[in-house]
Amino acid sequence: MALKATISRVELSIANIDRGYYADHSLTIARHPSETEERMMVRVLAFALHAAPGLEFGRGLSSEDEPDLWQRDLTGVIERWIEVGLPDEREVRKACGRAREVDVLAYGARAVDLWWEDARKTLERQDRLEVSELPPEAARALAEMAERSMRLQVTIHHDHIAITDHKSSFGTELRVLKHRVVT
């Protein structure tokens, strides 16, 4: 018998002062049996960082041809493709050919440095791509907030990210490994 996805519900309040985006979102997230709580919560953070009308979760681990999150316009054109973790650089390059903007939110402590060392030369040529790293302590703090039903507040101001739930809060900043080339 195949294992089923675990469903989590998130009431997410976002105040992104840097972008002037303020909204509440009710999210239903399916966590694949092989997905960790940490990865699921990094996907939620990626949603908060890039929240916009039309942004939605892809099928993620269960589909190799879809990102963790994406935003499409009304005609189906992919505006933004978002991956979390340490994606294969060939898949990232392919995404850069399909989407107007591609974001990678890398996490995994020392593994990020090793992944970036291998992928950097190829990925730095991708103008549509931005790669950021979430510090390991922030990824762990996010995982500790994981529950089946969550209320999270994410505030972003001057690139500082504050995350609060009903029990705890923490702040962090992303380390940008590669900036998108603005044309």
pLDDT tens, residue by residue, 27-73: 999 998 889 999 999 999 999 999 999 999 987 655 567 899 999 99
pLDDT attached to residue 60? 62
Q: Where are the domains of the chain?
A: 6-178
Distance CA(2)–CA(23), nearest Å, equals 37
Distance CA(114)–CA(124), nearest Å, equals 15
Distance CA(82)–CA(103), nearest Å, equals 5
Give residue-wise pLDDT tens across range 77-94.
Answer: 999 999 999 999 999 999
Architecture in CATH for domain 6-178: Roll (3.10)
- pTM across the whole model: 0.95
* Crossing angle of helices 37-50 and 136-145, rounded to 10°: 100
* Count of helices and strands (H, E) across the chain: 4, 11
